Structure 1
Amino acid sequence: MAVTRAQQPVVPAPVRLPVRSRLAHPALLLAGILLVALNMRACLAAISPMVAEIQRTFGLSATASGLITTVPVLFQGVGAPLTPRLTRRFGAERVVLGAVLLLGAGVLLRVLPSVYALYFGCMVIGVAIAVLNVSMPGLVKREFPDRAATMTGVYTTTMLVGATFAAATSVPLEHALGGGWQASLGAWSLLALVAAVAWLPQVLRSRQERAATAAAAAPAAGPGRAIEGLWKTPMAWQISLFMGISSLLVYIVVAWMPTILADHGMERGKAGLVFAFSNLLQGVGAFLVPLMAGRMTRQRGLAVSMAALNGIGIALLLAAPVSGAWAAAAVLGIAQGGSLGLGLAFIVLRTGSAAGAAQLGGMSQAIGYVVAAAGPVGAGALHQLTGGWSATLVVMLVLSAVVAVAGWGAGRNRTL
């Protein structure tokens, strides 16, 4: 499975694009990136404490309830391969703006009084997040070429801070607004609107840089050879599997951790706090791990360590779901945030240009989120079949070992 340098495709030298203009100060760029990042997980995490209420509202089964989390993840896999083509056609800045507006629309669709609108809104949210997931590494690679790993940690941490805040405030927001789960979830469309306004200066700047962007992207796109070669490269598949299975574990926790704890006797409000605590510590892992990765030539040990921590956290949930809940939440938070940050860091560390990062991001997230989509619904179905959570947690332990193997390959010192 090793890739020799002779097997690697020859890629033209990357073209560094301009990063500043009179229309977009670097501080505005950073603020825009952070506000966009805040939206990228918030609307998914906000729904987790509300699953039981949504289930009662529409009379859904456990498997159908799992689809509320699964559908956005599945459509992230569907939307990811389209994003490099969209960015070449319209420019990354315009694509990000469109995705943020689409995300806000999906949030509003999801709270309409119809189960069909609920799932269609989830589909729209998934596509919008997919576009942002693939666009952001390329933007970071282009705008911060000398600090790409550090900036990956910054925006990944911000993304998880948004998720933590959403998870912790969903129930209080429901009470404050007095409109049930619909008002609580619908309020997150305002955050998307704020991010869209903050991103407008970048769209204005992109008019000046469209020619340079097209010139840099054209050689990488070529007649399709670079993309085809990427799909035949073992390391690209290893990065994709590392991201995919790590994300599968994350989304099972997002969808079912409060329910697992509540089913073992923990009070619902406390279960939500444990979940929020885990999300909070994901931000620590998401910031520190990419920072460490950027200072290493190889990240094999780091990847295996994240997989091992995942396994330890899952084992704690299996052995002591209530008494060990806080410890499990802490370990899983560090491991899952670190795995997410490391997966995104692999995209910028294993490529030599913004266009290459977009292509690898499109492939890895297309595969990754299709794999991850099986997590919430599969866990729900397995729970329904067995009447408990032990079988699900054992499967998660096995998958942690697979993550370690994929991470060992992805952490090699190679450039695609």
Structure 2
Amino acid sequence: MAIAANLRAAITVVGPLADDVAADLALSAAQVSLLVSMPLVCFGAFALVAPRLTARWGVETTSVVALAALAVGVVARSAPWVPALWGGTLLVGAGIATLNVALPAMVKRDFPAHVGRMTGVYSATQSTFAAVAAVVAVPLAGVHPSGWRLAFGVWAGLALVAIGLVAPQLRGARRPDARAAAAVPPAWRPPWRSALGWQVACYMGLQSTFYYSVITWWPSVEADGGVGAGAAGAHQGVLQVVGIVASLVAGRLIDRSRPRGQSRLVVVFSSLSTLAVVGQLVAPGWWAAWIMLLGAGTAAVFVTGLSFFGLRAEHHAQAAALSGMAQAFGYGLAALGPVTIGALHDVTQGWTWPLLALLALKVPEVACGVLAGRARVVG
């Protein structure tokens, strides 16, 4: 849970203070956009490297190194020097990307009978701290002369706390990798060569594309439907709170479905956010119902995608490889979503066609999820 708390806070703190950073460092709008998007690009790029690190160093050592890189990056990003801002942001993205891959492997190894539940709990944890970081960013920046630098840098402490909890696991016999080594065969099938591995990766990529498109543009969609700009922004907080609860519920349902697979759950979870988009199209005045359905659906689908890393793998090493593959593909695809939806809005001068495009995206998402949800493993 301490590791999970670090997975999004250092990213969500940037958005509310982006204007302050730009004014202080004389950054252009394009540079500010790069500051926000660089960690997401790192998520995809470093997800390819992380499985090799976990295989060579073990999950604990890899996690400690990644947390240390994250802490250094957070501090460097807060320094009064523009190159440090970019170098620190790169370290933040690399550290979180590595932890994104290592954590599902740790869950598979240490909680093999409760993959869904533990995935739901750590997903809820990361969402909670992400929301807290966004909420306290502006007030924290206003209570100290260093302004946004303090609001950025304080989150290094969270990484140090996690290091303090994980580091004792590195000592000799207490290292869990030593106990789990016998469970990993000398040769096992890489997910890149498996149809099931690609089904999981495509499901992760398509649901991530939908999620990041919604997070980026839903306030604008609501504003176009008559909701005030301030209220539309506040609705994102409602979405996050509903998502935290949905993550916990989805995790328990996923564990209960293990003998028969998760294909039915995929359909149910995806239908929630599908109904939200349809509802926004036909009855935008019922925003409360749609934002709650959207929050529950996107969170439950996300937890399902993360759970597949452990459920569709035979052991934690294969789970790390599947996690790295799916997240590299998934975040690479997700980066195109908001840009494509925004371009479609510009061309059509409205939100009807972009929302219909999101609905169309649900068809291959559900298809891949149903296939990935079958009770089988890679190899």
Above 0.5 in TM-score? yes
For residue 100 of structure 1, what is the aligned residue in structure 2?
67
Q: Corresponding residue for 1:23? A: none
Partner of 1:394: 356
Please say if 1:333 is aligned against 2:333. Answer: no
Render the CA deviation track for 1:252-299: whole Å, top value 9, x for unaligned. Answer: 344444565567775655444321221111111211112111111121
Matches of 2:142 and 2:342, distance apart in 1: 28
Preserved CA contact (<8 Å) 1:307 1:335: yes
Normalising by the residue count of structure 2, what TM-score does the alignment of the two structures yield? 0.86
Q: Within the alignment, does 1:239 sit opposite 2:206 as a pair?
A: no
- Which residue does 1:174 correspond to in 2? 141
Of 72, 83, 96, the residue aligned with 2:50 is: 83
CA displacement at 1:92 relative to structure 2: 0.8
Secondary structure at 1:35's aligned position in 2? coil
Q: Is 1:354 matched with 2:321?
A: no
User: Residue 195 and residue 254 in structure 1: after superposition, are their counterparts in 2 closer, same or farther (change >3 A)?
Assistant: farther
Name the stretch that deviates more: 179-188 or 286-295. Answer: 179-188
1:7 is aligned to none
1:284-327 CA distances to partner (integer Å, 9 max, x unpaired)? 12111121111111211211222222222234455566x44433
Matches within 5 A, 1:301-316: 301-316=264-279
Tell me the equivalent position of 1:129: 96
Q: What amino acid does structure 2 have at the position aligned with 1:72?
A: P
CA deviations 1:185-238 (Å, max 9, x no partner) are 33222222222222222233677555555555461xx3xx621xx223222111
AA at the equivalent of 2:66: A
Contact 2:104–2:310 (Cα < 8 Å) also in 1: yes
For the Cα contact (< 8 Å) 2:14–2:152, is it kept in 1? Answer: yes
Q: Is the CA contact (8 Å cut-off) linking 1:71 and 1:373 kept in structure 2?
A: no
Percent of residue pairs identical: 35
User: Which structure 2 segments of 5+ residues have no match?
Assistant: none
TM (norm. structure 1) is 0.79
From 106, 119, 134, the equivalent of 1:152 is: 119
Asked if 2 retains the 8 angstrom alpha-carbon contact of 1:310 and 1:400, the reply is no
**Residue 139 of structure 1, aligned match among 99, 106, 120:** 106
Shift in Å, 1:393: 3.3
CA distance in 2, matches of 1:116, 1:320: 48
Q: Quick check: 2:140–2:147 contact (8 Å CA) kept in 1?
A: no
1:366 and 2:328 matched: yes
State whether residues 70 and 374 of structure 1, in contact with CA within 8 Å, keep that contact through their aligned partners in structure 2: no
Q: Return 5+ residue gaps in structure 1 as ranges.
A: 1-33
Q: Give the superposition deviation at 1:414.
A: 1.4
- Map 1:6-405; keep pairs closer than 5 Å: 34-51=1-18, 58=26, 60-61=28-29, 66-112=33-79, 117-177=84-144, 179-204=146-171, 208=175, 211-212=178-179, 216-217=183-184, 219=186, 222=187, 226-227=189-190, 230-258=191-219, 269-296=230-257, 297-318=260-281, 323-380=285-342, 382=344, 389-405=351-367
- Could you tell me how far apart the structure 2 residues matched to 1:110 and 1:380 are? 29
Q: Deviations over 1:22-46 (max 9, x none)?
A: xxxxxxxxxxxx1111111222233
RMSD of aligned residue pairs (Cα, Å):
3.0
Contact 2:223 2:232 in 1 (8 A): yes
Greater Cα offset, 405-414 or 255-264: 255-264
Greater shift in the superposed pair: 309-318 or 132-141? 309-318
Give distance in 1, aligned partners of 2:107 and 2:21: 37
The amino acid across from 1:164 in the alignment is: A
Count, aligned residues: 375
The alpha-carbon distance between structure 1 residues 144 and 207, as it changes in their structure 2 partners (threshold 3 A), is closer
Deviation at 1:108, TM superposition (A): 3.2
The more displaced of 286-295 and 374-383 is 374-383
- Per mean C-alpha deviation after superposition, the further-off stretch among 43-52 and 87-96 is 43-52
Q: Report the Cα distance in structure 1 between the residues aligned to 2:92 and 2:281, rounded to whole angstroms.
A: 32
